[in-house]
Structure 1
Amino acid sequence: ERIFLPLIRMVLPEVVDINMPLEGVFHNCVFVSIDKRFPGHARKVCYALWGMGQMMFAKFIIVVDKHVDVRNPSEVLFHLWSNVDPERDTFVVKGPLDALDHSSPTPRYGSKMGIDATRKWPEEGHPRPWPEEILMSEEVKRRVDALWKELGLE
């Protein structure tokens, strides 16, 4: 997918990076980071990606903020679990699926899900203040990792 990033950016300049993780068999799942500029921006990106050639086969698209490393599944999942309210931030649409997708009730057609895992704005149904993200430095991470070993919790 790296080769397609410049082409995707021609149509969607807000896209920072994209990753189709191995666990999604390279087509069932897409992680995409964006420079969010307006309410509903993540949904717009999902719909646009589903309209781009082979991206129509993507069964799950997870959209995160620009600072999230989409090449690190743990980081994407952290933001998914921290930022998503299932009712507000997920949406299901019908469309073409890969012929190899055996989960759909009919061949080559079924449902797919978009997930907005970005920070929410008041206009998106989150009126209370959004908390700042707590980040650990690499030094703190190394010290914590060393503690696990000392405590026998590897």
Structure 2
Amino acid sequence: MILAGFIRDQGVELAQAVSVDLKVPAHAEIVLEGYVIPGEERMEGPFGDHTGYYSLAEPYPVFHVTTITRRHNPIYPTTFVGRPPTEDYWMGKVTERVFMPLIRLILPEVVDINMPAEGIFHNLILVSMKKEYPGHARKVMYGLWGLGLLSLTKVIVVVDDFVDVQNPSEVAWRVANNINPATDLVLVDGPIDDLDVASPTPRFGSKVGIDATRKGPEEGYHRQWPPDIEMSPDIRDRVTERWAELGLGDIIPSDRSAS
């Protein structure tokens, strides 16, 4: 209800359910009413899942349906899942954008986040931030792990504010160059997604935070941090003007400032 109200910018009208003492969305297409008996489970699966793997048969809680109500000629919303990206990826991307302002209310140093398709929402988050003090990147990691279902995130990569996290290639370049594995990896244990295939135990496992920000003496880095190689605007403009003359074909020079 909170998400629906946030998207609509108004509250969701509710109505009394028919067979249970709960309120339900008054204009829902379909409503399933029923109950769950604590501890009752049955085997479910296997299913092709959004991870790109078949989730194996596991015991899950049983929902006993008591009533089904619907609108006249209801629309049954559905999607298919599989190896990403599929339809559900775009649903996740919308969620990422919708919740970005809320994340920044709690972590104002966060500039942007990206949940790439390959990370299936919860396995990989790329974060850019305005770093202000030693250990700040770790503070952001722990902050994200403390926010709702972001607690399930297996890998958090933190980069500086000038890095475009919507460009995974740039992030990978920064990570490969900027991290010292002995000091820049944060390993923690905690809850993980129910469909995670790597953990030896269900719903509990390890996670890693990767600090790919620039470091200074207060974080144990006593060398001078090297500047990026950048092509001057004058040179870039001159090359662009002479592109055809140089016989380089129809390829348009990149807007990237790095040469």
Q: Sequence identity of aligned pairs in percent?
A: 58
Give the corresponding residue for 1:76: 171
Which of 201, 204, 213 does residue 106 from structure 1 map onto? 201
Deviations 1:80-131 (A, max 9, x none): 0110000110010000000010100100100000010000011111011101
Q: Which one of 140, 147, 151 corresponds to residue 56 of structure 1?
A: 151
Give the deviation of 1:135 after TM superposition.
3.1
Q: 1:104 to 1:15 in 2, by over 3 A?
A: same
Equivalent of 1:91 in 163, 186, 211: 186
Q: Distance in 2 between matches of 1:47 and 1:9?
A: 14
C-alpha deviation, 1:27, in angstroms: 1.1
| Aligned counterpart, 2:56 | none
In structure 1, what is the Cα distance between the partners aligned to 2:141 and 2:168?
19
Q: Give the secondary-structure state (helix, strand or coil) at the position aligned to 2:163.
A: coil
Tell me if 1:119 matches 2:214: yes
> Matches of 1:124 and 1:3 in 2, distance apart?
34
- Structure 1 residues 109-148: aligned runs within 5 Å: 109-136=204-231, 139=236, 146=248
Matching residue of 1:19: 114
User: Which residue matches 1:30?
Assistant: 125
What is the identity, as a one-letter code, of the residue corresponding to 1:46? M
**Which deviations, in whole Å up to 9, do the C-alpha atoms of 1:28-73 show, x marking residues without a partner?**
0000000000000000000000000010010000000000000000
Amino acid at match of 1:48: G
Q: What CA distance in whole angstroms lies between the structure 2 residues aligned with 1:71 and 1:91? A: 23
Higher strand share: 2
Structure 1 length as normaliser, TM-score? 0.89
Larger RCO, structure (CA 8 Å, separation 6 or more):
1
Contact 1:88 1:125 in 2 (8 A): no
Q: Which has the larger radius of gyration?
A: 2
- Are the structure 2 counterparts of residues 56 and 132 from structure 1 closer, same or farther at C-alpha, using a change threshold of 3 Å? same
SS at match of 2:127: strand
- Show structure 1 runs of 5+ residues with no match: 150-154
Q: Which residue is equivalent to 1:47?
A: 142
Give 1:152's aligned residue: none
Matches of 2:231 and 2:173, distance apart in 1? 14
* Aligned counterparts of 1:73 and 1:135: Cα–Cα separation in 2: 20
